[in-house]
């Protein structure tokens, strides 16, 4: 019997290192054991990632958070970005930034950039419901390196973002109680580090399916202490996203894992978190979660406790616990 158990474990370990051939199919993936995983590029197309690939130290040193770009959008310029540069106050004075407005910050994930679809989708949703400043962070210089290098650079990207936000508010006004940071995948960990860098002052942080590979037990991962209120929306748990709770409130739509309704592959389920959030901003009470007794009930969708709305743009939102809900398969879900 012992021999059979050892043999099965060996076969599973070998299988986890076989290069998968079906694009986007991560059914083989076992966290902490598998070497290869499919991840979406900027257009949602699956790209095979080797989690054993060495970190490119030269790239990490040359393309760090100092290369971040900060694109401002407001209702006066909803489609054409105004670039704000840290320590160059004239770039603020010549822009439409107003310190009296709430500030929303959006951070993309690996192999993405400021033009990736999630950014205009969420930006337009914010501007549709509120007169606010929206800053899209473009960190493509590092995000478009190999995944391991990008992941290793996340703390530095976040620290630079935190320093930028501190400079922006100190220079041109603003209120930390009106700051909402939103990050997808690796970007969720970026905004966590940004919050930590500012002394955990942002009023709200939303992590959209925080990246899972290389982040289990990682001290630099998004956590509930990074802001006044931290929320996470899990849509591809156990695969491309972390499944365990990381925030004050963690939402598990459709069990929080692949396949999400309308998705056939993990890469689709991972990206679904961005669309669910954008829809929730436009329809603030659309997604009502019910509190779960534990993480197992969240995965099974057996949640019948108190309610808390998932997502939206309400800066004063507060809540605590695990919440399950069901969504549709297409916009607005």
β-partners of residue 49 are 37
Start-end of H helices in the chain: 2-16, 57-62, 90-93, 118-129, 140-143, 147-172, 186-197, 266-282, 295-300
Q: Could you confirm whether 185 is annotated as catalytic?
A: yes
Examine the residue annotation and report whether 160 is marked as an active-site residue of this protein: no
Q: What DSSP character marks residue 170?
A: H
Say which of 56, 138, 209, 250 is annotated catalytic.
Answer: 209
Q: What is the DSSP letter of 24?
A: T
Is 209 designated active site? yes
Q: How many helices (H) and strands (E) does the chain have?
A: 9, 13
How far is it, in rounded angstroms, from Cα 249 to Cα 322?
Answer: 6
User: From the candidates 34, 234, 270, 275, which is the catalytic residue?
Assistant: 270
Phi, psi at 3, each rounded to 5°: -60, -40
Which two three-digit tokens encode residue 302? Answer: 């057996």
- Count of CB atoms within 10 A of residue 163's CB? 18
Annotated catalytic residue within 95, 108, 138, 185: 185
Q: How far apart are CA 121 and CA 113, in angstroms?
A: 13
d(CA 149, CA 135): 25
- Active site residue ranges: 185, 209, 270
């Amino acid at each position: 019997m012992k021999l059979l158990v050892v043999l099965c474990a060996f076969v599973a370990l070998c299988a986890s290192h076989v290069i998968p051939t079906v694009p986007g199919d991560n059914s083989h993936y076992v966290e902490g054991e598998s070497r290869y995983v499919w991840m979406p590029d900027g257009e949602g197309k699956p790209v095979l990632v080797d989690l054993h690939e060495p970190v490119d130290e030269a790239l990490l040193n040359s393309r760090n958070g100092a290369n971040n770009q900060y694109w401002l959008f407001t209702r006066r310029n909803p489609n054409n970005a105004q670039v704000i540069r840290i320590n160059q106050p004239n770039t603020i004075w010549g822009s439409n930034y107003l310190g009296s407005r709430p500030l929303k910050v959006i951070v993309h994930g690996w192999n993405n950039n400021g033009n990736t679809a999630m950014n205009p989708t969420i930006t337009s949703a914010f501007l549709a419901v509120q007169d606010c400043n929206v800053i899209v962070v473009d960190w493509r210089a590092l995000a478009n390196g190999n995944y391991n290098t990008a992941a290793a650079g996340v703390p530095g990207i976040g620290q630079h973002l935190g320093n930028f936000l501190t400079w922006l508010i100190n220079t041109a006004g603003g209120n930390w109680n009106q700051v909402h940071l939103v990050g997808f995948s690796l970007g969720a960990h970026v905004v966590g580090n940004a919050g930590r860098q500012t002394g955990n002052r942002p009023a709200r942080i939303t992590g959209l399916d925080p990246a899972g590979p290389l982040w289990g037990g990682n001290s630099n991962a998004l956590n509930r202490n990074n802001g006044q209120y931290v929320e996470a929306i899990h849509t591809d748990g156990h695969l491309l996203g972390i499944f365990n709770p990381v925030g004050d409130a963690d939402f598990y739509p459709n069990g929080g894992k692949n396949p999400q309704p309308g998705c056939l592959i993990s890469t689709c389920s991972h990206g679904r978190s961005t669309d669910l959030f954008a829809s929730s901003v436009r329809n603030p009470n659309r997604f009502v979660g019910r509190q779960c007794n534990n993480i197992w009930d969240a995965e099974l969708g057996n949640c019948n406790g108190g309610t808390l709305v998932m997502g939206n743009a309400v800066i004063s939102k507060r809540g605590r616990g695990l919440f399950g809900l069901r969504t549709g398969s297409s916009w607005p879900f």
